[in-house]
């Protein structure tokens, strides 16, 4: 763990996942679109370092079943969160790069902590050549 901290710095967030592994998150947001996760065994040995904000991971999120805790364990801290007006939901926003295009990945949770919606929203202002 000391070697990882020496190389990557202090993590923005640390969680112990449901399998008992310690995960350190290194998000590059809000302008960056990656979150690197260093995963450690309970004895402190490094298991791997991987980019978590990828479409294959987004596809595993199941509305009605995935929990806020599972999202936190898998993706780390969002770059922005807010309570939705007029709806009993909280929304987390992750800025991501999918197929070389800029998106925001929104995850909406009901008050019971269950994912109700998760979707990518592309903003065309990010597209190359768009002057508007």
C-alpha to C-alpha distance for 15 and 13, rounded to whole angstroms: 7
Can you list the domains of the chain with their CATH numbers?
2-126 (3.30.1450.10)
Beta pairing, strands 46-51 & 80-83: unpaired
pLDDT at 116: 98
Q: Is the pLDDT of residue 58 over 60?
A: yes
Q: Is the pLDDT of residue 132 over 70?
A: no
C-alpha to C-alpha distance for 7 and 94, rounded to whole angstroms: 25
Residue ranges of the alpha helices (H) in 40-125? 55-58, 68-75
- How remote is the C-alpha of 77 from its chain's centroid? 6
Q: Is the pLDDT of residue 30 over 90?
A: no
Q: Is the pLDDT of residue 131 over 70?
A: no
C-alpha to C-alpha distance for 73 and 69, rounded to whole angstroms: 6
């Amino acid at each position: 763990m000391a070697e990882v901290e020496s190389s990557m710095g202090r993590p923005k967030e640390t969680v112990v996942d449901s399998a008992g592994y310690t995960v350190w998150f290194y998000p590059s947001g809000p302008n960056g679109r990656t979150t690197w996760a260093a995963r450690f065994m309970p004895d402190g040995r490094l298991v791997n370092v991987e980019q978590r904000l990828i479409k294959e991971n987004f596809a595993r999120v199941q509305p009605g079943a995935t929990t806020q805790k599972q999202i936190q364990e898998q993706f780390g801290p969002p770059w922005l969160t807010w309570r939705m007006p007029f709806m009993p939901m909280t929304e987390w926003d992750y800025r991501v790069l999918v197929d070389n295009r800029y998106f925001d990945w929104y995850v909406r949770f009901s008050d019971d902590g269950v994912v109700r919606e998760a979707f990518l929203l592309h903003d065309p202002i990010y597209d190359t050549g768009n002057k508007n």
